[in-house]
């Protein structure tokens, strides 16, 4: 047997699983078709500028937080330098910017100041968020069956919210449009507006951000991925780049080996796939996928994609009065209206997220080489497969976003030295995710929590990790899925 565990794909979920198992003594082999590890968790360089592909922040890195604990168990925590800034993020609100503090009590006090007539209701909301969190820890993380026999109020809060949208939960406490606008301003992180987004999926990462700290990683997402690779190789494993897997070989309903594009075969006891579930099961050989399970992986709605413009400046962003951290600019009414503008490719009016990487990590680039990004939810179907038309679409969106930046930060055009636009087709090309999806399946009520695809599969010793399965997309969700599968394999 060549490996104890083979991991397909080196996204952050796969690397988490591989690094944890390596620390536990398993011989792990990771196979990745790309030339760098990390999936979305990577950096790239253009003309002397260092760009972070996707990391805006990771929650729960305070001591005792879920992400802190996982990275510690993976042997990664002492290889990275988390950066915690005073401001978590900002949101445009009635012509001014509201800075959201990276501290729970300060954030609550800010909401009191903004909505003095809702103080009692806000207090109740925050109190029940704490109950929801305790219920999550007991009901999901504890996994003690006796809990079901004596469900307490914390678990009941968790269960109740799991069947509601984010908007429904928030308005049951504070039925105020402006409050909902500010309190749910993180919704673009999760790919759906509050009236569609599962409350379960919104509040778990919200708690990580606001109760256990939002951080950036010094050096960017690539530093996190590279640190996991270091752990794997230091413990006798290997990360094999430019090694595309073409088949997962099944014998007697057990995953036994993989075959690479070059014909090499590697045997193993366990296979963990960080590839999307649809492609994973298209790769299985000598196996007929049960109809019921085929529907589970093919019928759910696939989530949105993103477009992101990476910009290199010849000055520091502060010289152009670009805010620190990142700002959600919603210029078109309600979150639902904003989402529709994005899906319909109305790039001149849809919401955008402006991220100031030079502020988040001063070491990422030289002081006078400022780096910012502009991110927006996007629709894969809008983008042409014709090369010439696609090129024109990219140029058009780039110009639109630069014009929008010029309106907000006059003079920025003359300081732009480098631009690189990633579209939904870029996301598809580098990850093979259907429709360039960045969050896996949409996080609606019926596709989150207990309804979401499990990390287990019908094939013995084949597991799934990443955004498509429980607990969901994003850095923390993918990292958590990797940890869950690693512990499951260890306990077998």
The model's pLDDT over 374-423, given as tens digits with 9 standing for 90+, comes to: 999 999 999 999 999 999 999 999 999 999 999 999 999 999 999 999 99
Spell out the residues 6+ positions from residue 123 whose beta carbon is closer than 8 angstroms to its own: none
Which range marks the domain in which residue 290 is found? 3-81+218-300+453-491
Spell out the residues 6+ positions from residue 382 whose beta carbon is closer than 8 angstroms to its own: 345, 393, 424
The kind and range of the H/E element at 266 are: strand 265-273
Judge whether 444 lies within some domain.
no
Instruction: Extract the tokens encoding 122.
Output: 């806000």
Same domain, 145 and 173: yes
Give the model's confidence band at 145: pLDDT under 50 very low, under 70 low, under 90 confident, else very high.
very low
Same domain, 224 and 273: yes
Same domain, 173 and 26: no
Q: What is the pLDDT of residues 58-104, one digit of tens each?
A: 999 999 999 999 999 999 999 999 999 999 999 998 889 999 999 99
The radius of gyration computed from the CA coordinates of the chain, to the nearest angstrom, equals 22
Looking at the DSSP bridge assignments, the partners of residue 198 are: 165
CB 401 within 8 A of CB 377: no
Sequence-ordered strand ranges (E) for 107-222:
214-217
Segment 47-67 shows an average pLDDT of 95
Judge whether 233 lies within some domain.
yes
Judge whether 88 lies within some domain.
no
Q: Distance between CA atoms of 490 and 146, rounded to whole angstroms?
A: 23
Same domain, 279 and 398: no
Same domain, 132 and 205: yes
Provide the mean pLDDT of the chain.
95
Residue 148 predicted with pLDDT over 50: no
What pLDDT, on the 0 to 100 scale, is given for residue 150?
47
Nearest to 317 by CA among 84, 94, 86, 49: 49
Structural domain count, the chain: 3
Judge whether 475 lies within some domain.
yes
Q: What is the pLDDT of residues 195-213, one digit of tens each?
A: 999 999 999 999 999 999 9
CB 390 within 8 A of CB 383: yes
Segment 438-456 shows an average pLDDT of 95
CATH (domain of 224): 3.50.50.60
Same domain, 154 and 70: no
What pLDDT, on the 0 to 100 scale, is given for residue 153?
64
pTM of the predicted model, to two decimals? 0.95
What pLDDT, on the 0 to 100 scale, is given for residue 140?
56
Spell out the residues 6+ positions from residue 425 whose beta carbon is closer than 8 angstroms to its own: 380, 383, 390, 436
What pLDDT, on the 0 to 100 scale, is given for residue 1?
79
Judge whether 89 lies within some domain.
no
Judge whether 95 lies within some domain.
no
Same domain, 15 and 110: no
Same domain, 330 and 417: yes
């Amino acid at each position: 047997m060549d490996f104890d565990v083979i991991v397909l794909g080196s996204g952050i979920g796969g690397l988490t699983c591989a690094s944890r198992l390596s620390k536990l003594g398993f011989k792990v082999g990771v196979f990745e078709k790309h030339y760098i590890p990390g999936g979305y968790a990577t950096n790239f360089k253009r003309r002397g500028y260092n760009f972070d592909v996707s990391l805006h922040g990771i929650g729960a890195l305070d001591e005792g937080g879920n992400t802190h604990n996982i990275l510690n168990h993976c042997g990664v925590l002492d290889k990275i330098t988390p950066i915690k800034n005073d401001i978590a993020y900002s949101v445009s609100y009635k012509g001014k910017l509201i800075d959201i503090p990276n501290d729970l009590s300060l954030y609550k006090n800010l909401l009191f100041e903004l909505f003095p007539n809702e103080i009692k209701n806000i207090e109740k909301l925050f109190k029940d968020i704490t109950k929801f969190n305790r219920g999550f820890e007991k009901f999901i993380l504890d996994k003690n069956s006796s809990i079901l026999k004596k469900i307490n109020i914390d678990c009941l809060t968790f269960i109740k919210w799991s069947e509601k949208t984010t908007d429904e939960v928030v308005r049951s406490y504070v039925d105020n449009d402006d409050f909902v606008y500010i309190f749910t301003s993180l919704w673009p992180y999760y790919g759906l507006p509050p009236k569609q987004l599962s409350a379960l999926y919104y509040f778990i990462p919200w708690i990580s951000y606001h109760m256990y700290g939002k951080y950036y990683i010094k050096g960017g997402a690539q530093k996190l991925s590279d640190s996991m690779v270091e752990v794997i190789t230091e413990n006798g494993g290997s990360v094999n780049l430019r090694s595309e897997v073409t088949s997962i070989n099944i014998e007697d309903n057990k995953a036994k080996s993989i075959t690479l594009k070059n014909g090499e075969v590697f045997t193993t006891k366990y296979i963990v796939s960080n590839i999307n579930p649809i492609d994973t099961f298209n790769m299985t050989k000598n196996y007929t996928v049960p109809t019921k399970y085929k529907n589970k992986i093919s019928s759910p709605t696939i989530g949105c994609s993103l477009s992101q413009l990476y910009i290199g400046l010849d000055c520091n962003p502060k010289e152009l009065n670009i805010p620190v951290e990142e700002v959600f600019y919603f210029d078109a009414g309600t979150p639902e209206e904003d989402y529709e503008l994005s899906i319909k490719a109305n790039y001149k009016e849809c919401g955008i997220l402006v991220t100031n990487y030079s502020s988040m990590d001063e070491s990422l680039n030289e002081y006078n080489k400022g780096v910012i990004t502009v991110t927006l939810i996007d629709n894969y179907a809008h983008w042409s497969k014709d090369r010439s038309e696609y090129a024109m679409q990219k140029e058009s969106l780039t110009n639109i976003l630069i014009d929008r930046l010029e309106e907000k930060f006059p003079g920025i055009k003359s300081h732009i030295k480098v631009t690189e636009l990633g579209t939904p087709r870029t996301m598809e090309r580098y990850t093979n995710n259907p429709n360039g999806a960045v969050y896996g399946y949409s996080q609606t009520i019926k596709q989150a929590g207990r309804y979401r695809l499990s990390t287990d599969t019908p094939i013995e010793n084949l597991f799934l990790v990443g955004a498509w399965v429980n607990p969901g997309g994003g850095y923390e969700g993918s990292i958590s899925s990797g940890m869950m599968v690693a512990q499951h394999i260890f306990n077998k």
